[in-house]
Amino acid sequence: MNLRDEIEAAIRAWHAYETARGSVAVIDFDCAPTATPAEPATSRLAVHQQLRELHARAVEAGADRLTARVAADLAYLGALLGEHPPLNDYVQATQGCPAAGWQDGYITHRGDQARQALAALGIEWGPDTARDLNAVEGPIDTDDAPDAIRQAAADYENAVRQLTATTAPFHLTIETTEIDAYWAYWLDGAGDRIRLRLNLRRASFTKVAARQFALHEVLGHGLQGASWSARAAAQDVPWVRLMSVHAPQQVLLEGLAQALPLFVAPDDELLVTRTRFDHYNQLVRAELHISLNQGASIPELADHARFRMPWIKDAAIADLLTDRGANPQLRSYLWSYPAGLDWFANLAEADPPTRTTVLQAAYRDPLTPHDLTALWPQGPTIGGQDPKT
């Protein structure tokens, strides 16, 4: 068994241990599914020791991709065991980019873009912005949402395949659930089989949301996972074939999935407006993420959230602070949303050859922030600060 396969075996055993005790899954997409269930690890401490040994061997072998992945696993597992490192250190170790944040002027600029797009639809900036945008987007019944998402995915599939040059097949299953979690939609899977779950407690179903999440979940996460799986089946790839949201490919996954409308449907005014609105909201969430971890008080954070996002409800503020401060997985993972979306929103404004190079590479390999920067060195710094000029 080679080093990559040993790392995968350790992650599978860790995943089996966590899921058997009702904890959060470690693996979200399996690009090398096997028929034999993994034997659960005996404890988190045993996994930690094994990962430390594997990390040392990866360093010694000069296997940078494997080293970065195991470092992310160790950082996340350490947090599960009680460690609470500074946010920047934790995000750098897990997501592969700094948690630097964006300057006030840049966030305001992205907010102005969202305001202008909303104003063109007759929507005012204020307490009712989110409600009014949902109304314009065309609410649909919950029962109609799965078919609407499937139809939107079918409508966009050829365009996405042309942009990304992937021919990998996939098979989609859509399920509904009701759980108290931050997410409205969640995709996982193995090989060419992908599962989309709709959280009825969180999801708001509109015609635009169906198009947005067909791109985000099905043709973003799902088709990427299926494409990586097809490549891993055909070639001996140098990366760990198990995707986890605490690992450094997540900036690519969440960034491109959120920004995909800017590449695939730039003339869809409603969908682009939603994307620009989400971009601004994610940058503000990043401000709160950093300030919370720097010791700002809850009243200060709540006031800032209401000032930046006057449409946000107190329950939503409470949830986003809890997730970003106390949850080991989400303290890392949720940084991938602003970091990734901002980089890919900027990429959408780059020259066509650069866009094509990045998008096609993104469906071949689970790229890290380091990989993305190498593909577009003129792009903005991933994880914060104003775009390069």
Residues contacting 351, CB < 8 A, separation 6+:
none
Say which residue the tokens 């907010």 belong to.
111
Closest CA to 248 of 365, 331, 329, 368: 368
Average pLDDT score over residue span 33-47: 96
- Please give the backbone phi and psi of residue 206, each rounded to the nearest 5 degrees, phi first: -135, 170
- The 3-state DSSP class for residue 251 equals helix
Higher per-residue confidence, 386 vs 368 = 368
Residue 198 is predicted with a pLDDT of: 86
Distance CA 359, CA 256 (A): 9
Label residue 178 by pLDDT band (50, 70, 90).
Answer: confident
Cα of 127 vs its chain's centroid, Å: 27
Residue 388 is predicted with a pLDDT of: 44
Length of the chain: 389
Residue 377 is predicted with a pLDDT of: 97
- For 358, other C-beta atoms within 10 Å of its C-beta total 23
Instruction: Give the pair of three-digit tokens for residue 155.
Output: 């409508």
Distance CA 380, CA 389 (A): 9
Q: Is the pLDDT of residue 387 over 50?
A: no
The percent of residues in the chain predicted with pLDDT above 70, rounded, is 98
Residue 184 is predicted with a pLDDT of: 77
CB 144 within 8 A of CB 166: no
pLDDT tens figures, 203-261? 778 999 999 999 999 999 999 999 999 999 999 999 999 999 999 999 999 999 999 99
End-to-end CA distance of the chain: 47
Residues contacting 371, CB < 8 A, separation 6+:
361, 365
Amino acid at position 208, single letter: V
- Residue 373: burial class (beta carbons within 10 Å; 0-12, 13-18, 19+): middle
Helix-strand-coil split of the chain, %, nearest 5 = 60, 5, 30
The reported pTM is 0.95
CB 252 within 8 A of CB 372: yes
What totals of helices (H) and strands (E) does the chain contain, helices first?
17, 5
Residues contacting 131, CB < 8 A, separation 6+:
311
DSSP string over 40-68 = PPS-HHHHHHHHHHHHHHHHHHT-HHHHH
Residue 15 is predicted with a pLDDT of: 98
What mean pLDDT, rounded, does the chain reach? 95
Residue 385 is predicted with a pLDDT of: 77
CB 77 within 8 A of CB 51: yes
- For 165, other C-beta atoms within 10 Å of its C-beta total 13
Label residue 62 by pLDDT band (50, 70, 90).
Answer: very high
Average pLDDT score over residue span 346-366: 98
Residue 309 is predicted with a pLDDT of: 98
Residues contacting 268, CB < 8 A, separation 6+:
211, 261
pLDDT tens figures, 268-315? 999 999 999 999 999 999 999 999 999 999 999 999 999 999 999 999
